[in-house]
């Protein structure tokens, strides 16, 4: 999970803050035919919450890796992990000067999306 500061930076440079309604077919034995997936949000106090809807407009979405990769589109040219170190790198050759570094792949891709959006 990315920290509050990085999630806020994503929001500030325009990362979509909508929570799409995602429906899943559940087990046939279940009495429910569909459900909403919940997601993580940061509240204005900096603490995260797990909810299917943001109750306040100023909550900040915590995107998934899949959402960030999709948002970067074809601009990602490489994702790699340094052997023996806890560092991930996300790069877009020709679009950013230096690869974006993170403690996790999620953090590295979030930083790349920010650079691509600035």
Give residues with Cβ within 8 angstroms of 100, minimum separation 6: 89, 90, 91, 108, 109, 111, 112, 115
- Quote the pLDDT of residue 45: 62
The two structure tokens encoding residue 22: 């995602």
pLDDT at res. 71? 95
**pLDDT given at position 55:** 52
Amino acid 101: pLDDT: 97
Enter the DSSP assignment of 27: -
Could you identify the residue written with the tokens 């109750």?
A: 55
3-state secondary structure of 95: coil
> 44: burial class by Cβ within 10 Å (0-12, 13-18, 19+)?
exposed
pLDDT of residue 77: 95
Neighbours of 49 (CB within 10 A): 15
pLDDT tens digits for the chain (118 residues)? 888 889 889 989 999 876 543 333 333 334 433 334 456 666 666 666 665 554 545 567 788 899 999 999 999 999 999 888 889 999 998 899 999 999 999 999 999 999 999 8
At residue 31, the pLDDT reads: 40
Q: Which fold has domain 64-118?
A: Double Stranded RNA Binding Domain (3.30.160)
Task: Answer yes or no: pTM beyond 0.95.
Answer: no
Listed by start position, the domains of the chain span 1-62, 64-118
């Amino acid at each position: 999970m990315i920290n509050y500061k990085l999630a806020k930076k994503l929001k500030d440079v325009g990362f979509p803050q909508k929570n799409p309604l995602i429906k899943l077919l559940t087990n046939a034995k279940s009495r429910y035919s569909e459900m909403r997936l919940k997601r993580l949000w940061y509240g204005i106090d900096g603490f995260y919450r797990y909810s299917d809807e943001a109750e306040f407009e100023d909550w900040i979405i915590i995107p998934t890796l899949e959402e960030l990769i999709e948002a970067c589109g074809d601009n990602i040219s490489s994702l790699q992990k340094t052997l023996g170190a806890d560092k991930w790198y996300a790069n877009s050759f020709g679009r950013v000067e230096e690869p974006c570094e993170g403690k996790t792949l999620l953090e590295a891709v979030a930083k790349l999306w920010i650079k691509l959006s600035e």
